[in-house]
Structure 1
Amino acid sequence: MDWLVVAVFGGVYIGMALGRWPGLAINRTGIALIGALVLLLSGAVDGDAALASVDFATLSVLLTLMVLSSQYAASGFFDWIGSRITHLDLTPRGLLAGVIAICGGLSAVMTNDVVVWAVTPILIQGVMARRLDPRPYVIAVACAANAGSAATLIGNPQNLMIAEFGQLDFTAFLLACGVPALIGLLIVYGVIGFGPMTRAAFDPVPNGSALDEGTAIILDRLMLIKAVAATLAVIAIFIFVEDRALWSLLIVAVLLLSRRLGTDQVLGRVDWHLLALFCGLFIVTGAMAGDDAIAAFFRDALSGLRIDNPAVLATLSLAGSNTIGNVPLVMMLLSLGPDWTPELLHGLAVFSTLSGNFLIVGSVANIIAVEQARAAGITIGFGDYARIGIPVTLISLAFAWGWIMLFV
């Protein structure tokens, strides 16, 4: 057993859990890259092994979805949808239902992080103009984006990894995971709209329903049509094509061919930090999986935990997603876990995604929502989120476990 590999793996995943290394300003991406670099410089992993461990298919599809989201943003779609949500002539609870439905639906075909990043600022402005407390709505955006993204293979990064690992069928995944995702959205609405912690926030507000139209939102319809066509093409690729990565990159090339949208504008919105994080983690976990003694140890440990039991998998997903994060957790389990059946992979996708609603640190989407609120002068504390996130997650996981048990 190569103890340097073990030490680097431990140091990296402790950093994932803490979000940094104590005393340093480094973040998770930097930690993963330094871990990979130590393994390469020490000779514990050679260049060929490092390249072989990086899942370029997953990175290619993730890049495609980021570029696709950039196309939507450039068309003004996110600004327009945010404005439409806040101008809905609905009661406070009706507005909440609209927020959850729209954010959950968008996250099923786009990355959840992008939806939260784009919608939250405009939503806060609209909700405050209605004289409503924006905090429950911001938390609803994050929770709905997480729950909705569980429905499809392209809803979030961990689903993409799981899809490429198991070469899962898009339609079968939707049938298995769409119901827990939909139930999760209903639970988000029930807990936030009628739960004891937030019920008062939805009391009618005198003169609070009228909303000034404000600045008109310009929607570039041709650019939006191109984005919608590209989205349909991505879904078709996942349904009908085996080489998803190459055909996905073809969509990137088509989107780059534009008379009005420069390459720097398209690629400028790509989350290169996330892609770098993936590369670093792929190399670190690949080194663990490549050492026979280490891999056997982890597989025996996970086998002893009976990870093939959906209840155990749900519990492990809840614990791991809210410590090291759902992406590092899924990457580790896929590399070092048991023999994965499609049914068990569906469970891993649903459980790891819904678990992200538990605490602020459970999902990048949660962190984005809270930071966007802070930028607007709205403070959402750890406890504020937990009072909603914990019941939402536990109830959602219970229903998801019951559904997954029907297929295992």
Structure 2
Amino acid sequence: MVLTLLIFLLVYVAMGFGTLPGFKVDRTGAAIVGAFALMVVGSITPKAAWEAIDYRSIGMLFGLMVVSAAFVVSGFYAWAAERVASLPVSPPVLLAVLIAVSGFLSSLLTNDVVVVAMTPLLVSLTMARGLNPVPFLLAFCFAANTGSSGTLIGSPQNMIAAQGLGLSFNGFLKVTLLPALLSLPIIWALLALMYRNRWHLSGNTSNTNTADKAPVTPAFDMTETLKAGLVTLAVVAAFVWSDWPKELIALGAAGVLLINRTIASSDMLKHVDGNLLLLIMGLFVVNAAMASTGLPQQLLGDLRSAGINLNDPISLFLVGGILSNIVGNNPAVMLLVPVLDSAHNADALGAALVLGTGFSSNLIVFGSLAGIIVVEQAAASGVKISFAEFAKAGVPVTLVCMAMAAAWILWL
């Protein structure tokens, strides 16, 4: 048990810091090495490790990543970024349009893929207009995190939570869509207020020549975009109106899109986040080994004694929000789902878990993968978003959105 606990803690230390201190082992590497170590020391058998991996969540996530990748290779994301950023409107209106687009795309497609595809383009296009890219990038990131909370297919943690709690697509939509939509005008109002005098690049900015370094993007292909759009609509329709297993729907859609006469399957698959899939698989094994010790169940009892009941939606909402900013939202959801009683008030628990981990993601840079992607890709394009700059906007956005979501959960 001691070895199991030690390995478990080391894995989640890596989740929190991004790497295992002292080693060049990132989150994915830590999850995989941890899973291997737990099998080697006998904390979990290889058979039990395989059985611990939820193939339904992995299958659905992989399939939907392929669907989102189809929009990358068709040039849709590049086209959308260019059309939005070049609209002849004032900066506050442009901010509102960008938030709406980010929230919409992230609710239908995997939010991390959307952020990866569009961030460099937004940097280049806003700077070409002489605009300060920071408020637009922060708005795009914040809206992607909260907007993706509105649907089951918006983010990996949504899929894991829905599978674990047995929520249908419609059931998920019923308890998360409205607060996700309400979060978007909150983001706009706060960022428009904070950056009202800083819309344009100042003379002393260090972000020079970035507009001349536009990233190379695929040409817009209307036929492939329409194909991807029709497949996406078919996926959503199947989720809403059929009883087919969600992972089979997603994998079937991926198969249809991978069979293509003009785009190589390898070009599409390289946009699938294999590291994230491996991280989730590794964490399934690590968490299962830890559960077999009985310590999580004991901790749950201790929390109840202290007045913290994770099956109370508000308690779960707050714990999920705090935990996601320590270890990340996907690991947080994977830790919490197994201890929840889905037979009682599953809708409210699902809303609490998804909104708590999703809305709190905007607090700090490392609160979400989307935040890390935006900051790192912006830096690669010559735009610095410091930890303090991110938090200065992220803290008020998170607090107001969390307060609104808490009121919604209490109403449920």
| Cα shift at 1:39 | 0.7
Determine whether 1:282 maps to 2:281.
Answer: no
| Cα shift at 1:237 | 2.9
| Cα shift at 1:71 | 0.7
* Whole-angstrom distance in 2 between the partners of 1:61 and 1:348: 19
Aligned AA for 2:248?
A: L
In structure 2, stretches of 5+ residues that fail to align are 203-210
* Whole-angstrom distance in 2 between the partners of 1:100 and 1:373: 18
| Cα shift at 1:233 | 2.0
* Whole-angstrom distance in 1 between the partners of 2:278 and 2:150: 26
Q: Deviations over 1:161-188 (max 9, x none)?
A: 0111122121222121111111111111
User: What is the RMSD of the two structures over their aligned residues, measured on CA atoms?
Assistant: 2.0
**Structure 1 counterpart of 2:223:** 222
* Whole-angstrom distance in 2 between the partners of 1:283 and 1:234: 29
**Structure 2 counterpart of 1:301:** 302
8 Å CA contact 1:92–1:204 kept in 2: the answer is no
Question: What are the within-5 Å matches in structure 2 for residues 268-347 of structure 1?
Answer: 268-291=270-293, 293-304=294-305, 305-339=308-342, 341-347=346-352
Aligned AA for 1:7?
A: L
Question: What are the within-5 Å matches in structure 2 for residues 343-382 of structure 1?
Answer: 343-382=348-387
* Whole-angstrom distance in 2 between the partners of 1:249 and 1:300: 39
**Structure 1 counterpart of 2:72:** 73
* Whole-angstrom distance in 1 between the partners of 2:374 and 2:406: 27
* Whole-angstrom distance in 2 between the partners of 1:335 and 1:163: 12
Q: Deviations over 1:302-344 (max 9, x none)?
A: 4341223333223212211111011101000012345562321
Judged with a 3 Å threshold, the aligned counterparts in structure 2 of structure 1 residues 302 and 329 are, in CA distance, closer, same or farther, namely: farther
| Structure 1: 4+ residue segments shifted above 6 A | 214-217
Determine whether 1:36 maps to 2:38.
Answer: no
| Cα shift at 1:216 | 11
Q: Deviations over 1:380-400 (max 9, x none)?
A: 000000000010001001000
8 Å CA contact 2:314–2:352 kept in 1: the answer is no
* Whole-angstrom distance in 1 between the partners of 2:221 and 2:331: 37
Instruction: Say which SS state the counterpart of residue 22 (structure 2) adopts.
Output: coil
**Structure 2 counterpart of 1:403:** 408
**Structure 1 counterpart of 2:153:** 154
**Structure 2 counterpart of 1:208:** none
Judged with a 3 Å threshold, the aligned counterparts in structure 2 of structure 1 residues 237 and 335 are, in CA distance, closer, same or farther, namely: same
* Whole-angstrom distance in 2 between the partners of 1:286 and 1:259: 43
Choose from 259, 262, 272 the match for 2:261. 259
8 Å CA contact 2:84–2:98 kept in 1: the answer is yes
Instruction: Say which SS state the counterpart of residue 258 (structure 1) adopts.
Output: coil
Judged with a 3 Å threshold, the aligned counterparts in structure 2 of structure 1 residues 55 and 302 are, in CA distance, closer, same or farther, namely: farther
Aligned AA for 1:43?
A: G
* Whole-angstrom distance in 2 between the partners of 1:297 and 1:29: 28
Instruction: Say which SS state the counterpart of residue 200 (structure 1) adopts.
Output: coil
Determine whether 1:238 maps to 2:213.
Answer: no
8 Å CA contact 1:237–1:247 kept in 2: the answer is yes
8 Å CA contact 2:130–2:201 kept in 1: the answer is no
* Whole-angstrom distance in 2 between the partners of 1:9 and 1:188: 36
8 Å CA contact 1:85–1:123 kept in 2: the answer is no
Determine whether 1:392 maps to 2:389.
Answer: no
8 Å CA contact 2:313–2:349 kept in 1: the answer is yes
* Whole-angstrom distance in 2 between the partners of 1:235 and 1:163: 15
| Cα shift at 1:261 | 1.3
Aligned AA for 2:376?
A: E
8 Å CA contact 1:298–1:337 kept in 2: the answer is no
With 339-348 and 355-364 compared, the bigger mean Cα shift is at 339-348
Instruction: Say which SS state the counterpart of residue 220 (structure 2) adopts.
Output: coil
8 Å CA contact 1:91–1:204 kept in 2: the answer is no
Aligned AA for 1:138?
A: L
8 Å CA contact 1:152–1:159 kept in 2: the answer is yes
| Cα shift at 1:4 | 2.0
With 182-191 and 169-178 compared, the bigger mean Cα shift is at 169-178
* Whole-angstrom distance in 2 between the partners of 1:235 and 1:386: 35
Instruction: Say which SS state the counterpart of residue 25 (structure 2) adopts.
Output: coil
State percent identity of aligned pairs: 37
| Cα shift at 1:131 | 1.1
8 Å CA contact 2:171–2:347 kept in 1: the answer is no
8 Å CA contact 1:314–1:397 kept in 2: the answer is no
8 Å CA contact 2:175–2:347 kept in 1: the answer is no
* Whole-angstrom distance in 2 between the partners of 1:26 and 1:394: 33
Judged with a 3 Å threshold, the aligned counterparts in structure 2 of structure 1 residues 336 and 328 are, in CA distance, closer, same or farther, namely: same
* Whole-angstrom distance in 2 between the partners of 1:203 and 1:279: 44
* Whole-angstrom distance in 1 between the partners of 2:36 and 2:237: 38
**Structure 2 counterpart of 1:98:** 97
Determine whether 1:180 maps to 2:179.
Answer: yes
8 Å CA contact 2:164–2:338 kept in 1: the answer is no
| Cα shift at 1:189 | 0.4
Say how many residue pairs are matched. Answer: 397
* Whole-angstrom distance in 1 between the partners of 2:355 and 2:67: 24
Judged with a 3 Å threshold, the aligned counterparts in structure 2 of structure 1 residues 49 and 114 are, in CA distance, closer, same or farther, namely: same
* Whole-angstrom distance in 2 between the partners of 1:342 and 1:58: 19
